[in-house]
Amino acid sequence: MTDRAQRRQTGDALPPPSIGGESVTDSNPPSLSETATAPEHVEALTSSEPLTAGFGGSATPVPGAGAATGGARRRIGDRIFGGLASGAALAVILLVVLIATFLIIQSVPAISADKDNFLTSTSWQTDANNLHFGVAPLLYSTVMISIIAMIIAVPIAVGIALFMTQYAPRRIAKPVAYVIDLLAAIPSIIYGIWGVLTFAPHLDGVQRLLSHIPGPLFSLVQQNKTIFDGGVVLAIMILPIVTAISRDVFERTPRANIEAALALGATKWEMIRMAVLPYGRAGVVSGAMLGLGRALGETVAIYIIVSSVSPPFHFSIFNGGETIASKIANGSAEFTGGKSTGAYIAAGLVLFILTFAVNSAARYIVNRKKDFV
């Protein structure tokens, strides 16, 4: 019987395993407390030096991993570019604040001296000693022309965008897109001259037809240079903006959504109605709102197309009128300073608030759904 067998029978502790008479284990292993409090272990755990793969304390740095110690230092070019970008953003914000401040400071004295209600009066007398002015008819003409333009432009823009993205082959869609984009390059004064001399006379029949609709909105007050004429021409001017944004939105519709609708047996129109239009709804609305912002501030074309000499204020769209922007342009000769000029600046303040509200609403709609971005 071997020595190990005898020890098992007697219950004595077995000797540690050995090879060639040498023990393979440490005869005096450190205790747990000694291991936890050993200076070399504490130093290794608390050292700020990075861990290395080799036992010698050195390792080859990994390319692209940054500096071995401390945070990666920003390059001087990155800091300069970041500062310039931040400065540009702050400059734009500061510019908007300065414009708003200027409008408020210049318009408050005139509004305070106004003997009529600034928001409801239909008169416009800017004599410095006898101020009677109101923004109501200007605001009405501005909003009505913009609404007419949006009612005409948005459905056409959506239809063109769907044609280019869902129906037309690429060799046809690209030239159509180029032509639509070229409309944005035509100056406003060209639209105005073309509209008043060529296009507006052809709208007389449309106005006579719509005048049969009951209500004061369609009363036939005059047949040329009307609010309706300005709205139609303005619709052509904002068409490129709404079309471009709608096209980009529809192109970004996930292919999986389209193929899923077609796989379920949907027709082309059903696929567009269930997959494309819901996905791009927020983008189309925001594009329409941006087009509305352009329509509200249009000056030259409306100044030429819409008659500024009209009968007393009337709610009909077949009547002349002035928008806020065209009124300011038409009265620029009276900018001699003082409260008379402040009346026009007060009208500009209303237009500033209106366009700011429209663009803020567009930004809010975009932020609610960023899937199309």
Specify if 109 maps to a domain.
Answer: yes
CB neighbourhood size of 329 (10 A): 16
Specify if 24 maps to a domain.
Answer: no
Domain count, the chain: 1
Tens digits of per-residue pLDDT, 78-103?
A: 899 999 999 999 999 999 999 999 99
Q: What is the CATH number of the domain that holds 218?
A: 1.10.3720.10
Specify if 83 maps to a domain.
Answer: no
What's the pLDDT at 369?
60
Tens digits of per-residue pLDDT, 5-18?
A: 555 555 555 555 55
pLDDT range class, residue 365, cuts 50, 70, 90 = confident
CB neighbourhood size of 9 (10 A): 8
The two tokens of residue 22 are: 């040498």
Specify if 12 maps to a domain.
Answer: no
Q: Classify 132 as helix, strand or coil.
A: strand
Specify if 221 maps to a domain.
Answer: yes
What integer is the mean pLDDT of 264-272?
A: 90
| Res. 71: pLDDT tops 70 | no
CA–CA separation, 85 and 115 (whole Å): 47
Residue 14 vs residue 304, higher pLDDT: 304
What's the pLDDT at 72?
54
Tens digits of per-residue pLDDT, 15-68?
A: 555 555 555 555 555 554 444 444 444 444 444 444 444 444 444 555 544 444
Instruction: Look over the chain and give the mean of its residue pLDDT values, rounded to a whole number.
Output: 80
Specify if 177 maps to a domain.
Answer: yes
Specify if 184 maps to a domain.
Answer: yes
CA–CA separation, 276 and 255 (whole Å): 10
Specify if 297 maps to a domain.
Answer: yes
Quote the domain boundaries for residue 138. 96-368
CA–CA separation, 233 and 230 (whole Å): 5
Question: Is-contact 341 334, C-beta < 8 A?
Answer: yes
What's the pLDDT at 50?
47
